[in-house]
Amino acid sequence: MDDSGEDIDQMFSTLLGEMDLLTQSLGVDTLPPPEPKPASAEFNYTVGFKDLNESLNALEDQDLDALMADLVADIREAEQRTIQTQKEPAQHQHPSAPLEASSYGGAASADYGMPTARTVSQYENDLPPPPADPMLDLPPPPPPPEPLSPKEGERESKKDKGRRERKERKRARTPQLVVKVHMHDNSTKSLMVDERQLARDVLDNLFEKTHCDYNIDWCLYEIYPELQIERFLEDHENVVEVLSDWTRDTENKVLFLEKEEKYDVFKNPQNFYLDNKGKKEGKETSEKINAKNKESLLEESFCGTSIIVPELEGALYLKEDGKKSWKRRYFLLRASGIYYVPKGKTKTSRDLACFIQFANVNIYYGSQCKMKYKAPTDHCFVLKHPQIQKESQYIKYLCCDDARTLNQWVMGIRIAKYGRTLYDNYQLAVARAGLASRWTKLGTNTAKPAQRAPGPSQPNGGIPQATASISTVHQEAQRSVETTKDKKPAPSSHDPGPPQGGHLRKSVLPPPPPIRRSSDTGGSPSLPPKAPGVKTDCNDRKGDRDDSLLDGHAEHLPSHDKYLSNQLLPNIELLDFQKYKALG
């Protein structure tokens, strides 16, 4: 049911994107700066308000254009959602359905009874929604159903009422924030982030805006210049929520950059799970691990009933509260928190003392702690409550001997804190990356590749369930192919879209074929590095890949089987008892 909204979004962002490009190429400032101000001011009234004026001053003209486009798109989205929310109950609550359908007019009743995605999208294409020109009613329209709802509520059951009202309120005041993101080349980009968007959504938005590759290493990076600490925003974190912890006059920044540490544990699990506690030999063996073992290691650590936190222990330096002296202590990481060995005790579980638990703290890298805090080394990590913004005795500083240890601890703590979510995030990132390379490939067929990326708004982009969201990603891709077909019927000599999309809907795993395909012909730069689910034999068979995708997949199955049996029976030849019998 979200399809309709997304479709429209899709089209609009495409349209607006094109407009954006046009204006940019003309070099004309089509929009006077003050115009978006009143509009957005109405939107942002919690957190966004104070930041908006500030950031508006810093806006460049280009940014304004982009902002304008975003705003328009958002208004459209809001309208779309109004319609949607009206439609939804109609399909769920049969008793009250006719009533609502009549009260909301033709739109709902036309849709009622044919809830398939296909028909909806057709309907959207045929009938543009009533408010015609988004430019005209820039000041956001007061949501029409608001006055209606109390009257109707009486007729509905209590529960429905509550849910309805909540939904409406939410939509009515989707606060948005103008966020200035610092790019890797020291430029900045401002973008609108609404209350519901997760770091993942913002990243997607940025990918689209910057035309960079969709590498999984891209991340939003939070920097506190005052405290000299920094960290990744995890993909599932709500961006507005994170930023709302900052103070009014903050120097904190959000960066958009590539950090290979972000998902290092999934790329090189052996460095975290097979490390032999500082012994040098561990390093050598760990580098030899092959993709198959990596995958089984990941499966073992993240796919069981509970995830496995890497076994980390060792001496670290702890900054003493309020002093600049550091004390060396033996720390251990457990799923339940960080522990240390008290003086004169052993490191058995029963003697350990709890240092900190993760529920209320975030993990940060410390930068240049040697200078600022007289730390023994510069490899420090910091644990603090997200709301603390100034120096405080409640911030814990720990210092490792080397960078490798530091990375292990930070990653270990992230795994202990976020658990399975981290893995889901990674899988989603890989899916995005794979999808992106597919688009680049498709782009060679039609005109503009980047414009067809998914719209910035992703109403349910935050599903933590990896498989579900991956399949939606693919459906999206599929849909975007369809919409472009409708718009400008390209002379598609071969269009892999429909058959492939149909197939993908059934399969749950991120399927390798599109990735492999694009790597042949498109020469895309962004192959997901060793993603699970991407079988290792892909590369070997590159050469003879010319057949249709479906065939490719069918051919893939047997090898998949073989792969499984190989992996699960790790090279064990059955015991030769006869030999021993003879000996004995």
Partner 1 sequence: MAGMKTASGDYIDSSWELRVFVGEEDPEAQSVTLRVTGESHIGGVLLKIVEEINRKQDWSDHAIWWEQKRRWLLQTHWTLDKYGILADARLFFGPQHRPVILRLPNRCALRLRASFSKPLFQSVAAICRLLSIRHPEELSLLRAPEKKEKKKKEKEPEEEIYDLTKVVLAGGMAPALYRGMPAHFSDSEQTEACYRMLSRPQPPPDPLLLQRLPRPGSLADKTQLHSRWLDSSRCLMQQNIKAGDTLWLRFKYYSFFDLDPKTDPVRLTQLYEQARWDLLLEEIDCTEEEMMVFAALQYHINKLSQSGAMGEPASPDQGLDDLDAALSNLEVKLEGSAPTDVLDSLTTIPELKDYLRIFRPRKLTLKGYRQHWVVFKETTLSYYKSQEEAPGDPIQQLNLKGCEVVPEVNVSGQKFCIKLLVPSPEGMSEIYLRCQDEQQYAHWMAGCRLAAKGRTMADSSYASEVQAILAFLNLQRAGGGGGSGSQPQGSDASAESLNPHGLVAPRFQRKFKAKQLTPRILEAHQNVAQLSLSEAQLRFIQAWQSLPDFGISYVMVRFKGSRKDEILGIANNRLIRIDLAMGDVVKTWRFSNMRQWNVNWDIRQVAIEFDEHINVAFSCVSASCRIVHEYIGGYIFLSTRERARGEELDEDLFLQLTGGHEAL
Site for partner 1 in 551-570 (CB under 8 A): 564, 568-570
- Residues 352-381 interacting with partner 1 (rule: CB under 8 A): 352, 354, 357, 359-360
Q: Which of residues 170-209 bind partner 1 (CB under 8 A)?
A: 170, 195-196, 198
- Please return the burial class of 393, using the count of CB atoms within 10 Å of its CB with bins 0-12, 13-18 and 19+: exposed
- The letter for the amino acid at 565 is S
Of the candidates 362, 380, 367, 360, the one whose C-alpha atom is nearest the C-alpha of residue 319 is 380
Q: Which of residues 382-421 bind partner 1 (CB under 8 A)?
A: 385-390, 392-395
Minimum distance from residue 209 beta carbon to partner 1 (Å): 21
- CB contact at 8 A, 259 and 221: yes
Among 491, 543, 577, 582, indicate the residue that binds partner 1 (CB under 8 A).
577
- Out of 25, 116, 349, 493, name the contact with partner 1 by CB under 8 A: 349
DSSP state of 238: B
The span of 306-314, 369-377, 495-503, 547-555 binding partner 1 (CB under 8 A) equals 306-314
The tokens of 288 are what?
A: 């030899």
Closest separation in Å from C-beta 196 to partner 1: 4
Which amino acid makes up residue 578?
Q
**Contact, 438 vs 518, CB < 8 A?**
yes
- Separation between Cα atoms, residue 264 and residue 111, nearest integer Å: 47
Q: Are 50 and 78 in contact (CB under 8 A)?
A: no
**What residues numbered 238-257 form the site for partner 1, per CB under 8 A?**
238, 241, 245, 247
Query: Each residue of 108-143: b (16+ CB within 10 Å) or e?
Result: bbebeeeeeeeebbeebeeeeeeeeebeeebebeeb
CA-only gyration radius of the chain, Å? 27
Query: Of 109-117, 330-338, 484-492, 527-535, which part binds partner 1 (CB under 8 A)?
Result: 330-338
| Stretch near partner 1 under the rule CB under 8 A, chosen from 28-36, 124-132, 165-173, 477-485 | 165-173
Q: Which is nearer to partner 1, 53 or 460 (CB)?
A: 460
Q: Which amino acid is at 168?
A: E
Structure-token pair, residue 194: 């609404």
Binding-site size for partner 1 (CB under 8 A) equals 76
- Does 129 help bind partner 1 (rule: CB under 8 A)? no
Among 339, 364, 397, 423, binds partner 1 (CB under 8 A): 339
Note whether 573 binds partner 1 by CB under 8 A: yes
Report the helix count and the strand count for the chain, using DSSP H and E.
23, 12
Residues 390/252, Cβ–Cβ less than 8 Å: no
Cβ at position 425, least distance to partner 1 in Å: 13
Q: Whose CA is closest to 400, among 392, 409, 388, 391?
A: 409
Q: Which is nearer to partner 1, 169 or 542 (by Cβ)? A: 169
Each residue 461-490 as x (binds partner 1 by CB under 8 A) or -, in order, gives xxxx--------------------------
- Contact between residue 53 and residue 248 where contact means Cβ atoms under 8 Å apart: no
State which of positions 77-106 bind partner 1 (CB under 8 A): 85, 88, 92
Distance of closest approach, residue 464 Cβ to partner 1, in angstroms: 8
**Pattern 281-300, partner 1, x by CB under 8 A:** ----x-------x--xx--x
Judged by CB under 8 A, does residue 42 bind partner 1?
no
580 binds partner 1 (CB under 8 A): yes
CA distance 559 to 101: 53
Task: Find the shortest distance in angstroms from Cβ 560 to partner 1.
Answer: 12
